[in-house]
Structure 1
């Protein structure tokens, strides 16, 4: 077995608990990885601004991958790579989300835009990313700078159907995948958490077989496929667990910390 040289973790549902807390056990687990001489970083559907608060407690020194890995920024939040949704695809995405009647958000590299400050999931997102949205009447002035467009709804089945239709409508123009049951993310084409893993491995001069990944949602499957060791959280859907090599406990039962222990044990054995 190839010795693990890098761990890449998802954030929500993986590194954080349901109430968006970073536990002491998770913090100490990340520090054990550093102490073992293994690199550690994070990738998430979150915008850049929503990942800043994790850098210091996790002692992250490597680039991180916001927007499902379609952007790469350094630990000071300076852009290294930035990819945007093509304007036509962004406009088409907004039209389809409007047709489905779900709340719509648009993220640029540093700003969250919404047309509805009273949206059902706005308070949830504020708590998660620790940033208030900018309320606008029209998204048109910002579509050329869109890093991510989100459809938010508590009607999970509606959003599932919207995801299917969005993929069919966009084809290879953009990526559409749910990062949570209640969020449908549209991000730049040809970029995902898997390409982030590959890019990080190249930057570090290691094989992707030496990368371990931890996640819980469908958008994590791409990085599972791109890594030598993949671990699904206990709270993941069965289809996600089936695509991982190992399964840990839930994010409410220190599943991240336990996954790190699995990685360290296998790395030591290798």
Structure 2
């Protein structure tokens, strides 16, 4: 038996942020051969369920929020590594001061300040002012992915999350301003309780120091009694690096960033070419 961990954005999802039907069919075929398949993503657990449940039509383990939560195929929470309440509160306060759009990932919902959309529209205005050839609709499509997540809820005061004592799995920043991203990344560079990662351009994520996909994958493999040498990972971006470092077989998407390709065992096709299906069917001969 092998454990195959598959990323979503840029991997199983096409550029339209929809699951590849061919990829889902290959996952079903892989499970029918008595292998374990898990989703391993930066997305929230309920967002993953909303994206794939209807088409996959079977329950599988899910590593969500970049490893902050691990659920088995029955939906039982096996492990969680949220930020401390102090670190989460400090991050919310800091991000509020940076005038950026951000989201707070909790077990039951993703909370986003009410004025977040206005902040992004203002950034687009500034970009177009400096670069008149840029297309507003194209820019806005990048942001729409955030607003179309399952379970996202607007909130007046983000500190309400802390006051309610909710676990915070991660904070996600989305901004068109690369200088803001770099400033936030540098702010947390030497932090002892949290670190940052990224799953896509224009984003940055703040998670607990002990949280990453690699640790979550190692935990899940141990839970099922599967050696790490019998684990396979498929991914494309920086937040996949930790699981590429621990897995036995590492498959990079054709559209993966160079750092992932340098760590990989094999390269498959791109997400728009159904690279997950190609990897499972042709490269791994599962």
TM range (shorter): 0.7 to 0.9
Q: How does 1:1-270 map to 2 (within 5 A)?
A: 5-53=2-50, 54-75=52-73, 77-115=75-113, 116-118=115-117, 120=120, 123-127=144-148, 129-136=149-156, 138-143=157-162, 144=165, 145-156=167-178, 158-168=180-190, 170-171=191-192, 173-265=193-285
SS of 1:14's equivalent in the other structure is helix
Separation in structure 1 between the aligned mates of residue 117 and residue 264 of structure 2, nearest angstrom: 38
1:64 CA displacement: 0.9
TM-score (norm 1): 0.87
**Cα displacement string for residues 57-94 of structure 1 (whole angstroms, at most 9, x for unaligned residues):** 33554421111111112345442322220122223323
Aligned length: 259
1:33 CA displacement: 0.8
1:23 CA displacement: 2.3
Separation in structure 2 between the aligned mates of residue 108 and residue 158 of structure 1, nearest angstrom: 24
TM-score (norm 2): 0.82
User: How has the CA–CA distance of structure 1 residues 99 and 208 changed in structure 2, closer, same or farther, with 3 Å as cutoff?
Assistant: same
Higher helix share: 2
User: How has the CA–CA distance of structure 1 residues 160 and 13 changed in structure 2, closer, same or farther, with 3 Å as cutoff?
Assistant: farther
User: How has the CA–CA distance of structure 1 residues 247 and 161 changed in structure 2, closer, same or farther, with 3 Å as cutoff?
Assistant: farther
User: How has the CA–CA distance of structure 1 residues 9 and 157 changed in structure 2, closer, same or farther, with 3 Å as cutoff?
Assistant: farther
Listed as ranges, the gaps of 5+ residues in structure 1 are none
Larger Rg: 2
SS of 1:142's equivalent in the other structure is helix
Listed as ranges, the gaps of 5+ residues in structure 2 are 121-141
Matched-pair contact (CA < 8 Å) for 1:7–1:39: yes
CA RMSD after TM alignment? 2.1
**Cα displacement string for residues 169-188 of structure 1 (whole angstroms, at most 9, x for unaligned residues):** x23x0231112112211122
1:217 CA displacement: 0.8
Separation in structure 1 between the aligned mates of residue 233 and residue 24 of structure 2, nearest angstrom: 17
Matched-pair contact (CA < 8 Å) for 1:6–1:212: yes
User: How has the CA–CA distance of structure 1 residues 160 and 203 changed in structure 2, closer, same or farther, with 3 Å as cutoff?
Assistant: same
**Cα displacement string for residues 176-222 of structure 1 (whole angstroms, at most 9, x for unaligned residues):** 11121122111222121101111111111111010000011111010
